[in-house]
Structure 1
Amino acid sequence: MSADDVRSQVQALMPGVIADLEELIAIPSISFPGYDQEPVLAMAERTLKKFRDAGFADARFMDVPSGYPPIYGEIAGPEGAPVVVLYAHYDVQPAIESQGWTSDPWTPTRKADGRIYGRGASDDKSGLVTHLGMMRAFDGRPPVTLRLILEGMEETESNLEAFVEAHPELFRCDLFVICDMGNIRVGDPVMTTALRGDVSCIVKVSTLEHPLHSGVFGGAAPDATMALARLLTTLQDDAGDVAVEGVTAGPWEGADLSEDDFRAMADMLPGVGLIGTGTVADRLWAKPSINAIGLDTTSIADSSNVIHPTASAKISMRIVPGSDPKKELAALVAHLESHAPWGARVEVTPMKAAPPYRVRTDGPGYAAAREAMAEAFGRPCDEAGSGGSIPLLQTLEDAAPGAEFVLWGPEDTAQARIHASDESVDPEEIERMIVAQVLLLTRLAQG
């Protein structure tokens, strides 16, 4: 089948693919604790049925000690054919009203720009329907052995890593296709070759036994909120680079972004400057970044004229490929413990040490994928990194030593706004990704 034949076939399948996407967007499958479990279970059931109908007749829920079940299935290909594992996830982030949605996040909405809006439209229900479209293009009979793993807790405390470690035989393969990524811009193909890791901790700063009257004691007694603020500013230098001693950084070789492009993608306010040094790509994919992603102190609504005795922050630091997450976390903890102002008491609780990942790019699977992307998009394929992290990848590599990885999908960086308000996907990007996956499996089967 030629590339033109594949494009025509996939184009004819797209109305059904988009109908599936819209149906799945309407299910609020939020896996976070405290949210209703029924929509997530309903999403799992609908996803299971769709993949069974698409060819994974033996697809089933797998037993896990806690949380929502992963879906696993297998289709045997011709004898001696390569083994490929397909990955995506069926859970989504919350879509709280304060994020500023301009349409109902659980009502799939086609807007004037042609994109489909709704929570999960990109991350990662677009990945699910990309796999479905590929299966339908092969009429449920792919030319390679396919294994399917669809996760139900990727957005929160994943239970899949422990499942992979307990059942490594299910994941042994030649190639993993992780459809939970995307190009920088729609229509401009890139292979994702590096993911930053993520280490985090909670730091609590204490200065007093109890609150004090700010007028009577202010000026001599240190306020814990102010002490925490001063401690946080030590995490970055004046340029905005991470100032934690011993943390790894390096240059990026591959696709870059202009500062103007980045400003547009990030919707930065007029007059606000970028932080950090080096190219934009260096800052996003090859250097660490650090943020206070949560603060516990008195709210404005509950404020009174007191000096605060304690204040806390959750710190997240993204770390670069090639670094050791345990060492990077230890460096962050040591920095926080040694930079407290005014002798304030600092308690640091480590929370997470998720490893970064670098994709091997010298194998035949990667080469076939890069050629498939170029053919599907009609232009040369570049390489890019991602500031996000997928700790599961290292676990999969440990279960299948020597297997290659392909990281791609329809989640474009420029407009998708995953995890934020008005998340969306371009239907044409889904179509091109289905074509790319069909061409990839065809190439693999041909050797």
Structure 2
Amino acid sequence: MNTERAQELRTRLQAQWDGVISTLSEKIALQAVSAHGIAADHMKASAQYVAQIMQEQGIDAKVVQSTNPDGTPGAWEVIGSKIVDPEAPTVLLYAHHDVQPVPDASEWDTDPFTATIRDGRLYGRGSADDGGGIAIHRGALAILGEELGVNIRIFFEGEEEMGSPSFIPFIEEHAAEFASDVIIVADSGNWSTTIPSLTTSLRGNTSLEVTVKALDHPVHSGQFGGPILDANTLAAMLISSLYNADGELQVPGITATEPIGGLARDLDEAQVRADAATVEGLQMAGTGSLASRLWTKPSLTVTGFDAHPVEGAFNVIAPSARFALSLRTAPNQRPEEAQQALTDYLIEHAPFGAQVSVKPLDNGMGWAMDAQSDVVQIAEEALQTAFGQAPANKGEGGSIPFIPELQRIFPQAKVLVTGPEDPKSNAHSPNESIDLQSLEHNIIAEALLLDELASQQ
């Protein structure tokens, strides 16, 4: 990719840099916490601000309020477009303008809603997630200016941190305003501050509520204990039967895959242990690369367990136990299929004839990038030119169900998942921050990508 063009764009960005920092700083100060009310005035003000900065880049942007599934007023969304040539490719730029709450500001080293620059990083709630995504789009459009060669559509969502309840109805209602050839979702991150990444996959998610029943009522453990096991123990046996000796799920019908597009490098185990704060001596479950275990193989978590508290415990056999399961599924497996496979296994493997009932809950589809796509190749080249380092693409173990839904609604569109975060960003945590050098590289990369997509016309 043209390094002279990259340098030209970088020079332009330096002249625009104060505006990029102002965008982030003012966005942080708006305190756009969707958990405090997605339809509230502070969220409308956030959307209006984002629309304004997009208008300044020549986008015909507007604020539209969505409608929740129950018919109540929903999130304040920002949509808009700029058509430079009806024959040119159309690119949809996505980010979200809502941010996570700050439960305890005392855990922060700075005021969470005042942008603070320290050691090359800008701190503040939403600086990375996803003010950084907004800043990337704003910066790329600003430095391309009148040289923009693709049509642009934008969607800045106002409820991503709340699970996007009105996302799909809103997209379907405004489908004509979202139709595009390429969708850039700037809500993920890079391998590090110096090594760029495309996000290659996201696991899906399904959840269930399980009840194990042994008795119709509690009985004395001294009188009946021995031949009759308590429901808590039976539930523990059932849960443990889901795993083999290596700690891998052994449920027929739940699939596992290797990292999408191949594994550029594996994750550092010491870093994973440090990030997760594992206790000394804890063994890592599963086999194969850490990357596959965290990104593309299924994982099961007991997220809740109803039992009598230890305080006040007395000698009875618990008649029933209830627990909640969250299953992260391989990127390409339908979550309903995995949910049914897990349900069947739990019922068929009821220990000692206990009654097991399963209540299916939510499902969210995973997503896998088309690693052979020409758009992916262009994006990788743009990242390498901007960062001066070859990308080390990576998956994510979490789930972002709206991405596969976007792919479903617009099956011809090529989806790229990029983003401003790095391992030190602390998204959703105290002292959230964005690396400013990395932000500069991301802006250059997106501008180069838009340039190259225009040349593909």
- Is TM-score (shorter-chain normalized) higher than 0.5? yes
8 A contact 1:164–1:395 mirrored in 2: no
Counterpart residue number, 1:172: 179
Give SS of 1:312's match: strand
1:284 and 1:326 map into 2 onto residues whose CA distance is: 21
Counterpart residue number, 2:195: 188
Deviation at 1:293, TM superposition (A): 2.4
- Kindly provide the amino acid, as one letter, of the partner of residue 5 in structure 1: E
Deviation at 1:322, TM superposition (A): 2.5
Q: Percent identity?
A: 35
Deviation at 1:408, TM superposition (A): 0.7
Counterpart residue number, 1:3: 6
- Kindly provide the amino acid, as one letter, of the partner of residue 153 in structure 1: E
Deviation at 1:358, TM superposition (A): 1.5
TM-score for both structures, normalised by structure 2: 0.86
Counterpart residue number, 1:40: 43
8 A contact 2:51–2:61 mirrored in 1: no
Counterpart residue number, 1:17: 20
2:428 and 2:312 map into 1 onto residues whose CA distance is: 29
| 1:247 has 2:257 as partner | no
Deviation at 1:254, TM superposition (A): 2.2
- Kindly provide the amino acid, as one letter, of the partner of residue 254 in structure 1: L
Counterpart residue number, 1:150: 156
- Kindly provide the amino acid, as one letter, of the partner of residue 182 in structure 1: G
Give SS of 1:314's match: strand
Deviation at 1:289, TM superposition (A): 1.2
More moved, 111-120 vs 224-233: 111-120
| 1:132 has 2:138 as partner | yes
Give SS of 2:257's match: coil
Deviation at 1:205, TM superposition (A): 2.9
Deviations 1:105-159 (A, max 9, x none): 7334647554334433322221122112222223487321100011222233421
Counterpart residue number, 1:283: 293
2:176 and 2:24 map into 1 onto residues whose CA distance is: 31
1:295 and 1:200 map into 2 onto residues whose CA distance is: 14
Deviations 1:180-218 (A, max 9, x none): 111122210122222211111122333444555667766
TM-score for both structures, normalised by structure 1: 0.88
Residue from 409, 417, 434 that aligns with 1:425:
434
Deviation at 1:339, TM superposition (A): 3.0
8 A contact 1:62–1:72 mirrored in 2: no
Counterpart residue number, 1:75: 82
Counterpart residue number, 2:322: 312
More moved, 177-186 vs 155-164: 155-164
Counterpart residue number, 1:442: 451
For 1:258-407, list aligned pairs within 5 A: 258-299=268-309, 307-407=317-417
| Equivalenced residues, count | 445
8 A contact 1:103–1:109 mirrored in 2: no
8 A contact 1:169–1:399 mirrored in 2: no
2:213 and 2:255 map into 1 onto residues whose CA distance is: 30
Give SS of 2:75's match: coil
Deviation at 1:429, TM superposition (A): 1.8
- Kindly provide the amino acid, as one letter, of the partner of residue 88 in structure 2: A
Cα 1:329–1:55 shift into 2, 3 Å: same
8 A contact 1:28–1:92 mirrored in 2: yes
For 1:226-245, list aligned pairs within 5 A: 226-245=233-252
Give SS of 1:70's match: strand
Give SS of 2:60's match: coil
Can you give the 5+ residue segments of structure 1 that lack an aligned partner in the other structure? none
8 A contact 1:69–1:151 mirrored in 2: yes
8 A contact 1:235–1:290 mirrored in 2: no
More moved, 344-353 vs 241-250: 344-353
Can you give the 5+ residue segments of structure 2 that lack an aligned partner in the other structure? none
2:312 and 2:53 map into 1 onto residues whose CA distance is: 50
More moved, 281-290 vs 154-163: 154-163
Superposition RMSD in Å: 3.0
